[in-house]
Amino acid sequence: MMFIENGGVTSPKGFRASAGYAGIGDDKQKGDIALIASTVVGNAAAVYTKNKVKAAHIGVMKNHLVGGMAQAIICNSGNANTCTMNGTEIAQRTCEIVGRELDIDPVFVLPASTGVIGVEMRIAPFENTIPELCENLSKENGTAAAKAIMTTDTKPKEAAVSFICGGRECVLGAVTKGSGMIHINMGTMLSFMTTDAAISAELLQKALDEEIPDSYNQVTIDGDTSTNDTLVIIANGEAGNVIVDREGADYDSFRVALHEMSVFMAREIAGDGEGCTKLIQAHVKNAPGKEQARVISRSIISSDLVKTAIFGEDANWGRVLCAIGYAPCDFSVINVDVDLSSKAGSIPVCRGSMAVGFDEELAAEILKEEEVDIEVDLHNGDEEAFAWGCDLTYDYVKINGEYRT
């Protein structure tokens, strides 16, 4: 398996994309609407936010995926299409327009939205823009689509990996948006994946369900689980491999590619958190169980005091131990080690749950880097997990204090 240089959602065979400006958002140069389409219908699966308040597109997408098949994804930014009277009608009508223009069944079209909650959407922007999007579908427009779905993101998030399945080279591509209102349980996060591998809808769903707990659900920016979070994958089979419809070596190969892509995107989201200056990775090892390792690493990343300490480049390890201690699971805290590391070096700051002397200047240099690792050894088992987040800065308050106005 290897990452493809300049790869993205259109890297797999048979996938194209386009982007445009419909007047839903306020950045004409970036765009606010994107279309991703396969030349043939494919098997599909998805996972969604666990927030009880859900965007209108989620209900429509779930209905469209009952048969486990899809061919196109239409996504707008600037308006979440959430908590409005006409939300479901807009999402359904949008799919009908795409279906008409691409001459495909509207049930094979999956809608998605991201942006401000509670602002009523109009259908006119979609009616006016979708025909042009369908005409402009191309392999070259993947990055334009990645930009068009951004909200407060500072950069497009896209990648592709190649892997061998059934003796054929297959490709998994992805585009993701997410910068704030992000917390565990699919955190505002949209991720669209495409693959030319042939794999059943049932195994696609199984793979997503297995993968999400160790990647996307291990990301937190601000503790707020969005109403819109959605991850969808379409597999069109254009690579020509024998369909993967049972577990085994080919399924394992796909799972490795999915895991590498998901971790890459999780880090991209965390490193682009609203107002952030640093990506933080918490690695908890030698935990008594997998779920304990996940919960503890998330607890560290979720701590506002840990996040502000990293922002201030202050090696305040006591905040890390505190966040470990209130993690809601059973484990021993009598022999916890904590190290801080980055490309500037590594330094032990806690041993056996007690203070150790350390060089404050070296610690500050380590924390100056754009990526900081918090390494935790519980000495209480043999399981491990990673979680990703970012520092909490003045700009986060500014961005979210003015988000709607």
Active site residue 188: yes
Active-site residue among 176, 188, 230, 393? 188
Rounded CA separation 149/75 (Å): 7
Instruction: Return phi, psi of residue 342, to 5°.
Output: -160, -175
Residue type, 82: T
Residue with tokens 């190290």: 339
Residue 63: which residues within 8 A CB-CB, separation 6 or more? none
Q: H/E element holding 330?
A: none
Task: Indicate the residue type of 91.
Answer: A
Residue indicated by tokens 């502000």? 308
Q: Are 190 and 34 in contact (CB under 8 A)?
A: no
DSSP assignment of 184-233 equals SS----EEEEEE-S-B-HHHHHHHHHHHGGGTGGGB-SSS---S--EEEE
What is residue 319's three-state secondary structure?
helix
Q: Backbone phi, then psi, for 353, in 5-degree steps?
A: 65, 20
Q: Which sequence positions are flagged as catalytic?
A: 188
